[in-house]
Chains A and B, each alone.
Chain A
Amino acid sequence: MFSNFDFDVIARSWHYLFFTGMAFTLKLTVIAMVGGTLLGTLLAMMRLSSHKAISLLATGYVNLMRSIPLLLVIFWFYFLVPYIGAWITGADVPVQVGAFSSCVITFIMFEAAYYCEIMRAGIQSIPRGQIWAGYAMGMNYWQTMAYVVLPQAFRNMIPVLLTQTIVLFQDVSLVYVLSITDFVGAASKIAQRDGRLVEMYLFVAVVYFVLCLALSQGVKLIHKKVAIIR
């Protein structure tokens, strides 16, 4: 079946695939994970706030992001970010933003909505009594959050946060639509240059499969390790 296939194309291009393509994918994944978790935690705290306006704002944002496709969000920010840049810097013309920065902003804003829902569940898994105990000790809201609630919430949610990060790692492939050289983009450029679509896409699928399977097995191990025995 594979007789007339040329898997040599992978040997010829692996350096480009991994050091340009995969490097971009991993960089974007890590930055979006860190940024998304921070913004998501902030959004979760806003959603749980007793101020109606703040909580409504965060809820609206999260629900909006969760009901439109990531591809549409990628296009939205790709065109919107230059205008926002112009608005912030007060420039007359839209600011030129690189493709990478545009992707970083998109993925942080989009993934934050999903990380927010995870962190909200995490914060709510901490018994109310602990928050009251914090206040009773004389701590203010931020101290209670930083020293009592969030460390436990993070610990409880680490497996879910990591699973969401694997989803994010797969979602990054969608930047392909902006003709960016992520792992899929790099493979697709080589594939079209050499006319080797079948070999290339099979290889991409295998790489993603092995990586994601290994990561999800790792998450299972971590899950066992961090589980707090009550």
Chain B
Amino acid sequence: MNYHWNWKIFWEDAPDGGGTYLDTLFSGLGYTLATAGLAWIIALALGILIGTLRTMPNKTVARIGGAYVELFRNIPLLVQMFLWYFVMPELLPVGLGDWIKSLPNAPFITAVLCLGFFTSSRIAVQVSAGIHSLPRGQTMAGTALGLTLPQTYRYVLLPMAFRIIIPSLTNEFAAIIKNSSVALTIGLLELTARTRSMSEFSFQTFEAFSAATLIYLVVSIIAIIAAHLLEKALAVPGFITSGTASGGH
């Protein structure tokens, strides 16, 4: 065991000219959070839409939702990244494809889109599970009150379903932050990529990885606390949500 520890390495200048090694790690964290945050918006919007479609009484609509979920769930995230980055521009009309390839931050945009669509399928599963967990009488009561189907979803089913699935959405949010690291394979300089380049330039491998581990840990703890606060703020008095016990973490 002759590893040479040097914790002061973080305050030394990184060779890529972006300040100290610590600065480059934090700039990586910035990309990680930006990618995850923007992808989360796409994922939530699409996930709610598809998840709702899957519970529709119309069989064809439900099947389209199901096919969407299967498509994005059964291909590894890494392969999806490659599809978005290398394959999609080739399949588009030449002009559009070339424009995409020439974008200055193509890896970032690609990663956001890919991660958004990937996570949307997982959110869709949670949303339909949440809707299905409500008693069937709720839909019937909505119909009996003269609500149309969209109104039943808007005022009865979705508000309840959301409160039930907040804990599993928290898990998905933690997962999207972790999954954003896969974008390093298409050249996005997020936290894990920065950590690896720090370890390659400085040879202080374990210091770099320890720092990254600590940063990921802190981020995920903050996300969990924020989700608990959100859950409390949105709780309907007298309505016990299924997952107040924090089993997952």
Residue numbers of A with Cβ under 8 A of B are 1, 63-64, 66-72, 75-76, 79-80, 83, 86-87, 92-93, 117, 121, 170-171, 173-174, 176-177, 184, 188, 197-198, 201-202, 204-205, 208-209, 212-213, 216
Query: Can you list 27 A-B pairs with a CB-CB distance of less than 8 A?
Result: A1-B91, A67-B221, A67-B249, A68-B212, A69-B179, A69-B182, A69-B192, A71-B181, A72-B209, A75-B192, A79-B209, A83-B1, A170-B75, A173-B79, A174-B78, A174-B182, A176-B78, A188-B82, A197-B82, A198-B86, A201-B82, A201-B87, A205-B83, A209-B71, A212-B73, A212-B74, A212-B75
Contacts of A67 in B (CB 8 A): 174, 178, 216-217, 220-221, 249
8 shortest interchain CB distances as A-B pairs: A212-B74, A170-B76, A69-B181, A67-B220, A69-B178, A173-B76, A71-B181, A197-B86
- Find out whether the CB atom of A208 lies under 8 angstroms from the CB atom of B74: yes
Distance (whole angstroms) from the CB of B32 to the closest CB of chain A: 9
C-alpha gap A80/B209 in the complex (Å):
10
- The answer, yes or no, to whether B77 is at the interface (CB within 8 Å) is yes
Distance (whole angstroms) from the CB of A59 to the closest CB of chain B: 10
Across the two chains, which residue of chain A brings its CB closest to B91? Answer: A1
- Find out whether the CB atom of B1 lies under 8 angstroms from the CB atom of A86: yes
- The answer, yes or no, to whether B70 is at the interface (CB within 8 Å) is yes
- The answer, yes or no, to whether B26 is at the interface (CB within 8 Å) is no
C-alpha gap A118/B209 in the complex (Å):
28
Tell me if A's interface is mostly helix, strand, loop or mixed.
helix
Across the two chains, which residue of chain B brings its CB closest to A215? Answer: B74
C-alpha gap A212/B73 in the complex (Å):
9
Of A68, A170, A204, A208, which is within 8 A of B216 by CB? A68
Across the two chains, which residue of chain B brings its CB closest to A209? Answer: B74
Q: Answer whether A87 and B75 are a contact pair too, CB < 8 Å, given A71-B184, A75-B192, A198-B86.
A: no
C-alpha gap A92/B1 in the complex (Å):
6
- B residues 75-128 near A (Cβ < 8 Å) are 75-80, 82-83, 86-87, 90-91
- B residues 180-195 near A (Cβ < 8 Å) are 180-182, 184-185, 192, 195
Q: Answer whether A117 and B217 are a contact pair too, CB < 8 Å, given A69-B179, A86-B1, A174-B78.
A: no
- Find out whether the CB atom of B192 lies under 8 angstroms from the CB atom of A205: no
Across the two chains, which residue of chain A brings its CB closest to B82? Answer: A201
Contacts of B91 in A (CB 8 A): 1, 198
Across the two chains, which residue of chain B brings its CB closest to A2? Answer: B91
With most chain A CB atoms within 10 A of its CB, the pick from B71, B213, B247, B248 is: B213
Contacts of B220 in A (CB 8 A): 67
C-alpha gap A171/B78 in the complex (Å):
8
Of A72, A121, A205, which is within 8 A of B212 by CB? A72
Across the two chains, which residue of chain A brings its CB closest to B193? Answer: A71
Distance (whole angstroms) from the CB of B134 to the closest CB of chain A: 23
Distance (whole angstroms) from the CB of A103 to the closest CB of chain B: 15
Contacts of A176 in B (CB 8 A): 78, 185
Distance (whole angstroms) from the CB of A221 to the closest CB of chain B: 16
Known: A63-B249, A198-B91, A213-B70. 8 other contacts (CB 8 A): A69-B216, A71-B181, A71-B192, A75-B195, A79-B205, A83-B3, A92-B2, A184-B78
Contact with A along B205-217 (1 / 0, CB 8 A): 1100100110011
- Find out whether the CB atom of A213 lies under 8 angstroms from the CB atom of B74: yes
Distance (whole angstroms) from the CB of A200 to the closest CB of chain B: 9
- Find out whether the CB atom of A171 lies under 8 angstroms from the CB atom of B76: yes
Of B174, B178, B205, B217, which is within 8 A of A70 by CB? B178
Across the two chains, which residue of chain B brings its CB closest to A170? Answer: B76
Distance (whole angstroms) from the CB of A60 to the closest CB of chain B: 11
Distance (whole angstroms) from the CB of B14 to the closest CB of chain A: 18
Distance (whole angstroms) from the CB of B89 to the closest CB of chain A: 9
- The answer, yes or no, to whether B228 is at the interface (CB within 8 Å) is no
- Find out whether the CB atom of A72 lies under 8 angstroms from the CB atom of B78: no
- Find out whether the CB atom of B2 lies under 8 angstroms from the CB atom of A72: no
